[in-house]
Amino acid sequence: MDRAGLHKLLNLEIGAGSPGFIIYCEKQSARLNYTAKFIFENVLKVNVNITNTPSEFESSKLFKINYSSKSIAGTFQIKPNTLLFETGVTENKPKATLKNELIYFFENEGLSHFNYDIFSSVFYFISRYEEWQAFEPDMHGRFEAKESILFKNKMHLKPVVDIWILEFKDELEKFFKEITFPKNKFKVISTIDVDNLYAYKEKGFLRTAGAICKDLLKFDLTNLKHRRTVLSKKAEDPFDIYSSVSEFCLDKKIPLIYFFLFRNGTKYDRTVDPNSNAFVEVFKRIKQHSAFIGLHPSYNSSVEKGLLIYEQNMLVQKANEKITLSRQHYLRFNIRTTPAQLMQNGFVADFSMGFASAPGFRAGTSFPFYYFNFNTNKQDDFLMVPFCAMDGAYFVYDKLSPETMLNSLLSLAKEVKNVNGLFVSVFHERTFSNHLYPGYDRIYKNLHQTVNEL
């Protein structure tokens, strides 16, 4: 998928004739540029310019926002914190204020049309500043929910960044009576991580024999029966969901992306041999239903030199198309290094921005945002697409019932709908197997059918 196609998929286009804003600040700031473009272009779908030249600001016909401490008549003022004019990363954590069932940061003192610095607040979360700060990683080296400032304040289940921006929009509408903002549209994208192409098929003699012995040793006669039935071609493989799910999403007009793991033979990578033509057959089927293909880089792809490009090239060969989208296996995403590795290999977007162990908005937003590189103090042309819940968080980590899981997912989807954001669902091929996860197999279609009608 090229960048133009990605922008269309993610609703990142700005319509012709959209209104424009100009922001005045006393000195140039790459951080302010980055944040303002996210707020105004990605979320509000309007144009924005930034200047530190008073004469340019005064003569402009655009709607004027004054991001400085001095008063300028006829402008909407926001008093700045120092964060957007700093360089590097400090270990200072912003103080949280809970008000009206929401959380706020960088409160303002003195005259201003907004009682907190929304630009600094948004920047702290979408730049993933807190992941550049020191934190305690989990056993897989990940930034997990318990380290999040939103999780600690029990605000992780709301897209707080998006809510702030809508509050900001309301205040701008009150101040600039003649402005009309474009209408944003709620959108759903389905994503499926394929950790194991098939449960029983295409595993080879030795691997199949070993699995049968394991079933016998564990006295798992149910699994043994399922395995024999599939291998004798009397039943479909329980992980073979590619035609049914692709057809469902095509019928419901829900964009669908599969992220395929393309490595096997390690403790954490257990799919079918990537050399197998079984992948070619599956790719053919999903392409017939207009689904997209991305890479699920293996567990050690970020630490073993050359592994990422090897897996990407293998997938390109089997899929017969350019591969530019990724989601990291086990969500092993390091904010300091992973984006650079992906960009070096031609990826344009990653879909790992969420938690493995709990639902919640890791970056506080449902909207895609660009990567801010603190090493260079600038925005890179690489998109991070957030999700707010992964299937495994419910039945692997918390052992919750199917009904509880479905209700939680629907609640999160409604939160995203309230801000007209992007709801990205994350499932795995194994979740569709009623034998392995009784009751969870029906959640996918129930969720998407309901969310599609919101």
pLDDT > 70: what percent of the chain?
94
What is the pLDDT confidence band of residue 443, given thresholds at 50, 70 and 90?
Answer: very high
Calpha distance 451→446 (Å, rounded): 9
By the 8 A CB rule, do 83 and 106 touch? yes
- Taking 70 as the threshold, does the pLDDT of residue 210 lie above it? no
Share of the chain above pLDDT 90, in %: 81
The arithmetic mean of pLDDT across residues 236-249, rounded, is: 94
pLDDT for 211 equals 62
Which of 203, 200, 195, 193 is closest to 276 using CA atoms? 203
Give the pLDDT of residue 205.
61
CATH of domain 187-199+237-451: 3.20.20.370
Q: For residue 124, how many other CB atoms are within 10 A of its CB?
A: 25
* Of 181-190, 225-234, 295-304, the least confident: 225-234
Q: Where in the chain are the domains?
A: 19-175, 187-199+237-451
pLDDT of residue 208: 65
Confidence of residue 224 (pLDDT cuts 50, 70, 90): low
Mean local confidence (pLDDT), 21-45: 96
Pairing of strands 76-77, 63-66: parallel
Instruction: Decide: 120 and 106 in contact? Cβ < 8 Å.
Output: yes
Can you give the pLDDT at residue 434? 83
Residue-wise pLDDT tens digits, 383-413: 999 999 999 999 888 889 999 999 999 999 9
The pLDDT confidence band at residue 214, using thresholds 50, 70 and 90, is confident
Please state which of the ranges 210-219, 285-294, 331-340 shows the lowest mean pLDDT: 210-219
Tokens of 332: 């092993």
212 band by pLDDT with thresholds 50, 70 and 90: low
**Mean pLDDT lowest among 308-317, 325-334, 390-399:** 390-399
| Alpha-carbon span 215 to 211, nearest angstrom | 6
Lowest average pLDDT, out of 74-78, 221-225, 308-312, goes to: 221-225
State the pLDDT at residue 209. 61
Range scoring the smallest mean pLDDT among 53-67, 101-115, 322-336? 101-115
Instruction: Give per-residue pLDDT as tens, 256-282.
Output: 999 999 999 899 999 999 999 999 999
- Cα separation, 324 vs 295, in Å, equals 8
Res 206 pLDDT > 70:
no
Give the pLDDT confidence score for residue 429 in this predicted structure: 95
CA dihedral 353, 357, 361, 363 (to 10 degrees): -50
pTM metric for this prediction: 0.94
Query: What residues are paired with 191 via a beta bridge?
Result: 257, 426
pLDDT of 348 higher than 80: yes
The answer, yes or no, to whether residue 213 has pLDDT greater than 80, is no
- Decide if pLDDT at 33 tops 90: yes
Which band of pLDDT confidence, cut at 50, 70 and 90, is reported for residue 108?
confident
What tens digit of pLDDT does each residue of 70-95 get? Answer: 999 999 999 999 999 999 999 999 99
Q: Assign 215 a pLDDT band (cuts: 50, 70, 90).
A: low
Q: How confident is the model at residue 416 (pLDDT cuts 50, 70, 90)?
A: very high
Mean pLDDT of 167-173: 96
Instruction: Give pLDDT, residue 397.
Output: 86
Q: What does the alpha-carbon distance between residue 46 and residue 365 come to, in Å, rounded to a whole number?
A: 18
Segment 407-429 mean pLDDT: 97
Q: What is the mean pLDDT of the chain?
A: 92
